[in-house]
Chains A and B, each alone.
Chain A
Amino acid sequence: MKSTVIVFPGSNCDRDAAIALNKFNFKNSMIWHNESSLPKTDLVVLPGGFSFGDYLRTGCIASKSLIINDVVQHAKKGGLVLGICNGFQILLETGLLQGTLLRNKKLRFISKNVYLKVTNNENSFCNNYKKNKIIELPIAHNEGNYFANKGILKDLEQKNLIAFKYCNIKGDFNEDSNPNGSLHNIAGILNVEKNILGMMPHPERLIDSILSGEDGSALFESLHKFK
């Protein structure tokens, strides 16, 4: 399977994403934001980091990069797109996913491992997780507080487009298990066609037992089942 990681000025998880993709046997290429077209690819990854310094608004300037036109085309044709952290913020700015990410409720950067429940595993990204499985992944962000209007939230819930929700080790959703104030404890969402996933936690950082866990691995393994 072929993957492409887009590198923006200020991306800083691009290498981590590439390492994870290589580990899971993707043939990966790195594409500079200023390129006009994508190479032939099954999956596009928008990595974490601080694209363009997160100046103006997180993900905003990156969403206007030249390569994004082709990423949108790729997505519209049903190609897979994964946005992690800053990549999720970029996806929201492009309009490929709905809603927005506000500053964390406590107005602080948060870096820690959190528990997530896989609330939808019927998609290309999560099919290797059992439904409602509780997994542990790191988060590291300043703006991860998911917000959307009631209509969008209703849509997300009814159409089962929420892939991951923050929870505690027992799987409860409550304020204590919500690190950043996200509505409905949302940590990651899909588009209606389920070929686009945006998520705040970093699966690429937990793919190695020596790094305290491998719960990120199943996401990359899931992608190989994509037809």
Chain B
Amino acid sequence: MAILPKIQKDRIIEYLKEGKRFDGRKPEEFRDIEIKMGVSKNAEGSCSIKFGDCEVYCGVKLDAMTPFPDSGNEGILMTTAELSPIASPDFETGPPRIGAIELGRVIDRGLRESGFIDFEKLVIKENEKVWAIFVDIYAVNDDGNLIDLAGLGALIALAHAKMPTYDEKEEKVDRKAGLSKDPLPLDRDSMSFNLSAYKIGDSLVLDPNKEEEGSADYRISIAMNASKDGDKISSIQKSGEGAITEEDMNDILDLVSKKWDGMKAEVNKFVWGK
């Protein structure tokens, strides 16, 4: 139900002024993260991931295809997000609306621009055959902050995926042979984690639930990466109608980099550890 009373929004904003949230979390605190691997045995890699009650399913599939005309020595990446109405009474049926499109593209850029995927190692035969990686994200229950959830889910699915078996003679994937033992060509050091800060009233909040998200003026998603020469930002997307003040811009960058510093180890464990 799309009801978010103004009085609720007022209360959320006021409570945040005291640094408090209805569920007892601090403004920069994340909900409990729960991950289940292998939601589809037919995927090259897949997982379900939850932040509290918010849940997405992420799956990775690969196929051998002809490369794009001007990128004969690079593999392909296609990221799609589906905000199906199964996840919320507020989502509609039909082709992806702007919410899903934006989410898919932001996650895609984070994966692509960070250098996480070694596209050159995805070449089978230059200018003729390359691997295409398909990352598909499905919202299953919307309870706020789907974008960060989807970003982490995509990383985990990719890190656990295995390359399909390629039949050199037939020049296509041999599905019957099953997956190889090889992981995807990923660069651990380039892994980027998407952290979104939301402006609610006068406060900046991380990992909002649905109610809190509905009270936000804007969201700014920053993909953070822990490289050898210090943390780097690999992509940013500001979303929503509000405008960021100069002061807030600095506060946001400080908040996000501090949070990333504190979460790095845990995120690495989720992505590479299991």
A binds B: no
